[in-house]
Amino acid sequence: MPRVAGQIDPAKTEAILDAASAVLAERGLAAPMEEIARRAGVSKQTVYNRYRCKIDLVRALVERRVDFMTAPLRALDAGEHAEEALAGYARTLLEAVGKSHSILRLTIQSADEMPDLARIVFETGPLRSRTELANFLRAESKAGRLAVDDPMQAAEFFAGMVIGQHQTRSLLGLGNPLAAAQIDQVARSAARRFLKAYAP
């Protein structure tokens, strides 16, 4: 089916974001938009048509990552399978530790010079992720499946229990990413312990 004039091609958008993720990881926030466009196989104007500036591009990268991370909490049967939903969220948190922290590291390094970027990354990344988890916990408590008196605090507890020192190691560039089996074990254990702690 042909696209309507002015309609955004999702494949091009994904190509731009994939290219931006790679180029920014390699060259930092000073990476030229021309290089991102070249890697994506699009014109520089196409990049600017979607993202007015590099901050908009970083925001989109963070939003895409959070959409993926919180997807298990939005599954149709998430409430009926809370342990699987929480374990799924935990898995994506741990997987993101190794993949998306180049953006977080770059933001930390430039926070003094670019406070607006730091605020945007925090609000669209960690804050939004925890807020979506808090909303899930609030709904589970309303349904009587959990007893969470402070959903936002509980969301912080869960995220901290999951990523712990793994995030710190990644931000410091110390490596040692968890294997898939280790990620699954940590995710399932965290979900079980959390649900036990907040059982009604």
pLDDT of amino acid 61: 92
Contact 82, 144 (CB under 8 A): no
Can you list the domains of the chain with their CATH numbers? 1-51 (1.10.10.60), 60-197 (1.10.357.10)
> What is the pLDDT tens value at each position of the chain, 200 positions in all?
444 445 568 889 999 999 998 998 888 888 899 999 999 999 999 999 999 988 999 999 999 999 999 999 998 677 679 999 999 999 999 988 766 557 777 787 777 888 888 999 899 999 999 999 999 999 999 999 999 999 999 999 999 999 988 877 777 777 667 888 999 999 999 999 999 999 99
In sequence order, which residues have a C-beta less than 8 Å from that of residue 143 and are 6 or more positions away? 79
Instruction: Specify the pTM.
Output: 0.85
Give the torsion sign (CA, 70, 72, 74, 78).
negative
What does the block give as tokens for 73? Answer: 């909490």
Cα dihedral value 90, 111, 31, 175, nearest 10: -40
**Residue 133, CA distances (Å) to 34, 72, 114, 136 in order:** 37, 10, 28, 5
Residue 102 exposure: Cα atoms within 13 Å on the Cβ side: 13
